[in-house]
């Protein structure tokens, strides 16, 4: 048995950041990792997917710009770039970073075996017992959730892992799903040379986003040659010389690979949750301090994807900074401040989660959408502006297509949601996140002058539209 102040299970971006904060506070911290230090994000998610998409998006932009003839994409060079950006699936640099930060790394599969005790099974089957004086932080993330197709093993489908690490371009790629992974991967692989067929059970893509944003991405996928089949499910699938899919409309589709991009499941099934009174295989809900509810003693934390609050690296790292502070202050017997926006409260999870889809065009959004407001019965004023009319967008690319929407709380005159869709809008998003988290009144935003000619001039156009629209569009009860 080795005794530490803090045991972190999972060294993804979130576990690394919890450990960084507790070690920086002087707590003796150990991280347990079953695969690669850096987690899903570094090797099979954010990094490799964006490394595939960046050349694809830049190439598409360059093709539309007068005076630039980029020639065809060098697919092998793109795949090599992806390999470099994923660190060659070698975690030594990240493991060394842990060491430099004074954090102990134990490799193996971690399982709770009672309050404050974690057992780690190493590659050789040996078991090491770790005891935590103050806290155990579960940061085990998610794996792909697969649909209930018979004989999945024989089908050998791709999940997000294969879609981001494949070394060859399948001539025909079928993708099941209409969410973020499906749409980003359809964008990448269609441009890299696959004929992509997107099989979506809903009547539209990206159901959680503003309709106008999903519609622009849908148009662009059509234009790029993706075969988009809405209201379609797979009823049977077999693999012989190729993959044969029977679809709900009775048609048969042949493909070389099948990507199942059908959401995520928590990695809590083999975590010993039953030893502390929790149900294995479920998400681990935690409160705003990231303490797991239903376990006495305030020693168990769930941080990042595994708590299902926001399945995003940056939001998980935000949670990690707060959880690390909470753990350190509880260890010192310092009182916690539970009020919103305090150093101990993950308030942004509720009101300002920013996300960028690296599609063509990009979608960037934070806070509420109109559908969220409608669903929760919240009164908001909705202000829309055609991004294509902004001078900076004209400069950015000829024939620019895009749209911006902000949602305002009429009582406080502050912004509660923003969505931008268009090329180059990713870097615009932080301005909206500042406006929401800072609760900046519109009266003051008039003094935040956007430079000419940039896409950010859309802020001025949105304010003018709001001022000049006699009856603002209003959603909610």
Ligand X SMILES: NC(=O)c1ccc[n+]([C@@H]2O[C@H](COP(=O)([O-])OP(=O)(O)OC[C@H]3O[C@@H](n4cnc5c(N)ncnc54)[C@H](O)[C@@H]3O)[C@@H](O)[C@H]2O)c1
Ligand Y SMILES: Cc1cc2nc3c(=O)[nH]c(=O)nc-3n(C[C@H](O)[C@H](O)[C@H](O)COP(=O)(O)OP(=O)(O)OC[C@H]3O[C@@H](n4cnc5c(N)ncnc54)[C@H](O)[C@@H]3O)c2cc1C
Distance of CA 168 to the CA centre of its chain: 25
Size of the site for ligand X (CB under 6 A): 22
Asked if the peptide bond before residue 368 counts as cis, ω within 30 degrees of 0, the response is: no
CA distance 128 to 94: 22
The gap between the terminal CA atoms of the chain, to the nearest Å, is: 58
In the bound state with ligand Y, the residue whose beta carbon lies nearer, of 13 and 324, is 13
Contacts (CB under 6 A) with ligand X, residues 327-356: 355-356
Q: Is 10 annotated as a binding residue?
A: no
HSE-CB at 16 with a 13 A cutoff on CA atoms is 23
Should residue 358 be labelled a site residue for ligand X when binding is judged by CB under 6 A? yes
Q: Is 388 annotated as a binding residue?
A: no
CA distance 230 to 217: 14
CA distance 188 to 163: 10
Among 11, 27, 180, 216, binds ligand X (CB under 6 A): 180
Find the part of the chain contacting ligand X (CB under 6 A) among 1-9, 126-134, 172-180, 329-337: 172-180
Least Å from the CB of residue 28 to ligand Y: 19
Nearest Cα residue to 156 out of 250, 5, 260, 80: 260
Should residue 164 be labelled a site residue for ligand Y when binding is judged by CB under 6 A? yes
Q: Is 178 annotated as a binding residue?
A: yes
For 380-406, the three-class secondary structure string (H helix, E strand, C coil) is: EEEEEEEHHHCHHHHHHCCCCCCEEEE
Nearest Cα residue to 372 out of 201, 202, 261, 211: 211
Least Å from the CB of residue 15 to ligand Y: 6
Contacts (CB under 6 A) with ligand X, residues 196-225: 201-202
Residue whose Cβ sits closest to ligand X: 179
| Binding at 233: pick from ligand Y, ligand X, none (beta carbon under 5-8 Å per type) | ligand X
| Binding at 110: pick from ligand X, ligand Y, none (beta carbon under 5-8 Å per type) | ligand Y
Should residue 141 be labelled a site residue for ligand Y when binding is judged by CB under 6 A? yes
Q: Is 392 annotated as a binding residue?
A: no
- Helices in 332-438 by DSSP H: which ranges? 348-351, 370-376, 391-396, 429-437
Beta bridge partners of 128: 120
Other beta carbons less than 10 A from residue 349's beta carbon: 17
Find the part of the chain contacting ligand Y (CB under 6 A) among 29-37, 288-296, 333-341, 399-407: 29-37
Among 7, 27, 45, 132, binds ligand Y (CB under 6 A): 45
Distance of CA 247 to the CA centre of its chain: 29
Find the part of the chain contacting ligand Y (CB under 6 A) among 138-146, 248-256, 338-346, 427-435: 138-146
Should residue 413 be labelled a site residue for ligand X when binding is judged by CB under 6 A? no
Nearest Cα residue to 135 out of 331, 267, 346, 293: 331
Should residue 475 be labelled a site residue for ligand Y when binding is judged by CB under 6 A? no
Structure tokens at 118: 């974690």
Q: Which residues are annotated as a binding site?
A: 50, 110, 177-184, 263, 305
Residues forming contacts to ligand Y in the complex (CB under 6 A) are 9-15, 32-35, 39-41, 45-46, 49-50, 109-110, 139-142, 160, 164, 181, 267, 271, 304-305, 311-314, 316
List residues binding ligand X (CB under 6 A).
Answer: 147, 176-182, 184, 201-202, 233, 261-264, 311-312, 355-358
């Amino acid at each position: 048995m080795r005794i530490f102040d803090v045991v972190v299970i999972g060294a993804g971006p979130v576990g690394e950041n919890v450990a960084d904060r507790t070690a920086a506070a002087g707590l003796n911290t150990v991280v347990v990792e079953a695969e690669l230090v850096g987690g899903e994000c570094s090797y099979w998610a954010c990094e490799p997917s964006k490394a595939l998409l960046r050349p694809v998006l830049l190439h598409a932009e360059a093709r539309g710009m007068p005076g630039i003839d980029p020639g065809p994409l060098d697919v092998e060079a793109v795949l090599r770039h992806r390999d470099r950006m994923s660190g060659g699936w070698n975690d030594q640099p990240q493991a060394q970073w842990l060491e430099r930060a004074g954090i102990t790394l134990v490799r193996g599969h971690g399982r709770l075996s009672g309050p404050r005790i974690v057992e780690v099974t190493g590659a050789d089957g040996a078991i090491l017992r770790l005891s935590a004086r103050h806290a155990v932080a579960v940061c085990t993330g998610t794996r792909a959730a697969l649909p209930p197709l018979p004989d999945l093993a024989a089908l050998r489908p791709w999940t997000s892992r294969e879609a981001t690490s494949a070394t060859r371009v399948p001539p025909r790629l079928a993708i099941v799903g209409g969410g973020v992974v499906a749409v980003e991967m359809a964008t990448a692989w269609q441009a890299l040379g696959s004929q992509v067929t997107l099989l979506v059970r809903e009547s539209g893509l990206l159901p959680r986003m503003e309709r106008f944003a999903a519609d622009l991405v849908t148009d662009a996928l059509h234009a790029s040659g993706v075969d988009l089949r809405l209201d379609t499910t797979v009823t049977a699938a077999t693999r012989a010389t190729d993959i044969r899919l029977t679809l709900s409309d009775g048609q048969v589709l042949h493909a070389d690979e099948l990507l199942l991009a059908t959401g995520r499941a928590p990695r809590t099934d083999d975590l010993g949750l039953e030893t502390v009174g929790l149900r294995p295989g479920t998400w681990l809900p935690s409160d705003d301090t990231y303490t797991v509810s239903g376990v006495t003693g305030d020693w168990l934390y769930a941080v990042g994807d595994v708590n299902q609050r926001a399945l995003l690296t940056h939001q998980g790292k935000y949670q990690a900074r707060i959880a690390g502070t909470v753990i350190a202050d509880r260890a010192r017997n310092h009182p916690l401040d539970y009020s919103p926006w305090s150093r101990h409260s993950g308030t942004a999870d509720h009101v300002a989660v920013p996300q960028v889809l690296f599609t063509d065009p990009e979608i960037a959004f934070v806070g509420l959408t109109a559908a969220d407001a409608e669903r929760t019965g919240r009164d908001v004023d909705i202000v829309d502006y055609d991004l294509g009319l902004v001078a900076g967008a004209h400069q950015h690319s000829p024939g620019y297509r895009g749209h911006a929407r902000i949602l305002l709380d009429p009582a406080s005159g502050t912004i509660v949601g923003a969505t931008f869709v268009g090329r180059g809008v990713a870097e615009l998003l932080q301005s909206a996140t500042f406006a929401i988290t800072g609760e900046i009144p519109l009266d003051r935003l008039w003094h935040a002058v956007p430079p000419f000619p940039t896409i950010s001039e859309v802020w001025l156009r949105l304010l003018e539209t709001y001022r000049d629209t006699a009856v603002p569009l209003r959603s909610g009860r």
